[in-house]
Amino acid sequence: MRSVVVTGVSTGIGWGVTKVLIQRGVRVFGSVRKAADADRLKQEFGDRFTPLIFDVTDEAAVHAAAEQVRVALDGEPLMGLVNNAGVAVAGPLLHLPIADFRQQIEVNLTGVVATTQAFAPLLKGEPAGRIVNISSVGGKNGSPFMAPYNASKFALEGLSESLRRELMLFGVDVIVVAPGAVATPIWGKARPEDIEPYRDTPFYPALQKVHAFMTAGGAAGLAPEVIGEAVAKALTTAKPKVRYTVAPNPVMTFMMANLPRRMVDNMVGKRLGLTS
């Protein structure tokens, strides 16, 4: 049976990836941080789902989970590793607590390194498996007040490219899937009070506009299963691209990524009141 490890599957993109892969007959080892989520997903997805309980920032727990998967595979290679687990830290960089920035990088970047080091040896078989890293359209285009998140995703893009070239030695491919807005519970967690620590800064009016824009954009975002289909393609197609962008507004996404940067600066600045 083909088997894939997916991190961060309790909700959102990870859940969508798990659903699509299981529907295609793939066994999924999915990471969650809470036993209650493991039980819920086991009931929802059935025998083809095996929960792994770990936080990507806990290196010992990650390696223990990799050993659990190795034993379950019983000599078979792992078909894929999907590095999806992540968080989004927002706020004006001049006022952001350094601890928050460190946490952003620890989860979204260092966590990917930890899981890759732990699970990649299980991919080295015949045929060799693939690694899919979940980046973002924000991995190529920075947004005001999303600097920590953008920094983690820009770095993930570079890490993925370097790793892809390193792992050619073993025939293991590394592919990036970059979603735009996805309709996930994360948008429901975005509350007006989240920006209150910055009320007394010059950025507060613009932060209010960004908060409203992101909440509306998330509600109209893609279904998680759409990202799941892109990941399934990246894992199984004979000649995959190195990067798949999946966004609900592809024209705007293309413009933001390809227009002259000063032009985009002016568009964003005027929209948010950051420039006259």
Catalytic residue positions?
Answer: 149
Q: Which of 68, 170, 173, 174 is nearest to 125 (CA)?
A: 170
Q: Which of 128, 151, 117, 156 is nearest to 240 (CA)?
A: 128
Residue 164 one-letter amino acid: R
118 to 41, 64, 83: CA distances (angstroms): 23, 9, 12
Tokens at residue 84, please?
A: 């999806």
Which residues have a Cβ under 8 Å from the Cβ of 98 and sit 6 or more positions away? none
Whether 109 contacts 152, CB under 8 Å: yes
Cα 155 to Cα 157: distance, rounded to the nearest angstrom: 5
Cα 123 to Cα 53: distance, rounded to the nearest angstrom: 20
113 to 20, 56, 81, 244: CA distances (angstroms): 25, 9, 12, 21
237 to 28, 175, 188, 227, 258: CA distances (angstroms): 18, 12, 34, 15, 27
